[in-house]
Structures are given as structure tokens and as C-alpha cells.
Amino acid sequence: MKSTNIRNFIAGALGGIIGAAVMTVILIGSKLAMGMPMLVDFIVMGLFVGGKGETAIPAGFLAHFLVGIVDGIIFSIIVTSVNYLDL
């Protein structure tokens, strides 16, 4: 694996973290605007991935950010693999 590929993976992971953080702010803001509990999305996701009680919110945040990181890496692989998308 070339060093540029590793750099692309790292850049994709960082982009995924930034994207997940921005999406977190949007999710929390939209729930507050609708008068709902602001962490309801993360509670549901945390319960879905196996969190129980007080561990549901951290599990939801962890799942949310892991999905963001994986999506960022997949996006970077696609962009660097397809010549038409290569910058």
C-alpha cells in the first residue's frame, strides 16, 4: 500500500469525524427546535446497538461516529479509485 493511500484513508477518517460532528449539531438542533429530547436519536441508536439504560447514549454517540469514520474512508476509497473523480 502506498503512503498516499494511507494518507487518503486518514483524510477520509478525519472527514468522517468532521461530518459526524456537524451532523450531531444538526440532529441536536433539529430536535430542540421541534421540542423533542435532544439526544433521542442517540438513545435509539444506542439501544439498537445493545446499550442498556445509561449506556445507551454513549453507545449511540460511538455508533454514530464510527459510521461517520467508515463512511469517510469508503468515500475516500471511491474518490481515489475512480479516475473521473480523482482531483
Residue 64 in this model has a pLDDT that exceeds 70? yes
Specify the 3-state DSSP secondary structure of 36: coil
What is the distance between the alpha carbons of residues 68 and 66, in angstroms, rounded to a whole number?
A: 5
* Residues of the domain holding 41: 12-81
**pLDDT in the model for residue 87:** 64
Asked, for residue 59, whether it belongs to a domain, the answer is yes
Sole residue written with cell 471511491: 78
Please tell me what DSSP assigns to residue 82. S
Q: How many domains does the chain have?
A: 1
Asked, for residue 86, whether it belongs to a domain, the answer is no
Asked, for residue 4, whether it belongs to a domain, the answer is no
Asked, for residue 16, whether it belongs to a domain, the answer is yes
Residue 69 in this model has a pLDDT that exceeds 60? yes
Amino acid at 60: G
Asked, for residue 32, whether it belongs to a domain, the answer is yes
Asked, for residue 1, whether it belongs to a domain, the answer is no
Asked, for residue 55, whether it belongs to a domain, the answer is yes
pTM: predicted TM-score of the whole model, two decimal places: 0.83
Asked, for residue 69, whether it belongs to a domain, the answer is yes
